[in-house]
Structure 1
């Protein structure tokens, strides 16, 4: 690969002979630089992990990237461990990228329909400002509950649990979140090189990064966005901002002009979009600082002691992606069932 210079490749090649590092520092950036060198961190790992989680990997816990954590915890060499795991892994059964063709809201809408069909009442548009003890349970906006699951972001959860468990509330209040901006644009088909249709996008390493952190060639990644004819346009999704670079308060025209200018420089020609949509996601990405797993354990322990029957789950705690959030939801359901003495089938 031309992404690394020969000195960078030689430094990375030393990784298998280095002594075991362990995970004590709990920093993705520190671990990767120590094992593989500065170039692998700056040009490969930091752009990938940083763009997925809007993170500064020097301040991002290994618990947020479980693949790297497992390799570091269970192998002397990350490279040898990764090769061993790859040989054992089953063949990929489907495409790398996947999403509902009708949008991600399909997941929550389908879940809500299933619950209502089972007789569950769902109340939306109702703000919860406090939770109070009531006998053996809890009152939430006057409604009694045997147990409560808070699936809200950490900083939203903090004031709700602070009166019940000061230690848990204080830790939750310290959690950081990063905001990002997404610009989705449509380009004429004749304005897009044929070679680019075979690629899924690119990441921008921090040494050359301005506002744009990544650009996804969405028409190449998602089947329902692929052009049906050569005349059809292509869709790009441009990410701006990250931890330490909050752009969510910037005006629309400044964001759009910066994105088109930077991406035009990256791809080598001027972009002339026919349509665009700008979406802001303020404080949407939890930032797992070093020591994150220990803090989460402390929160769970404090709640179990101070406020039994109160549970937390969601992207702020044990994984940011949708599969991780589903796993946490299942774990919380098991915890609630055990607490109230119900056996789940």
Structure 2
């Protein structure tokens, strides 16, 4: 698994320069069968990351451009009456792909955003009382611009909670940006990417991740972190039980990518800022005092006792 993941990482980094941690997070989310929210300013490679990942694993990819006039049926699909056969036929929407790129997801109306809830959680779509399963692997990589707020809608807490992790691309360092300029000037590096694995192998890797051992102390540590966020005075909304499951599942994926068949407490500590921060809502007093969700989570992690070893 570590060998295949390394090949995918190297392939994606041919397009995304100097963002190893971001690429690793995308791999963790993919193998943990979660979804990824990429939040940053335009032009830093958010969409390119998801397309490069899809090409590297030889899976289908569809891009949904979220706009105010986008309808829920555009996302999930719609039943259309066929006059020749005299029956309704289902036409799949943009969500029917292995990798779904949701561009500027916060520009669509809450009604359209809510169309993704069932897809992301249950990996199925229900249209006209008929349920259609989505093929594994299935990952939604959504992007949003945190600065340009005109014409946008804040993501509902229920939808944010369905994203396993949130990352920020950030600007590349000068050497990485120079390498990007050189590689993109001579052609399109995305078009030159060749797959290094396929969907069947990715499915097998996802199944293997679910078998990574999580000891009782590590499970208690995960619950202790999320429980502490619910009791913290600076947080109006703490992490949900789904967040606990996502944290443990991501820890299993990170352990597998590191060549281990067991999860360490350090895996959860490393992943917690990316898995939990976007789910937390600070109180008005904390916000006015300059204490954001990341800072509060940092204090929570410092206060929760870390178990010794992995308890195997």
TM-score in terms of structure 1 length: 0.22
TM-score by length of 2: 0.24
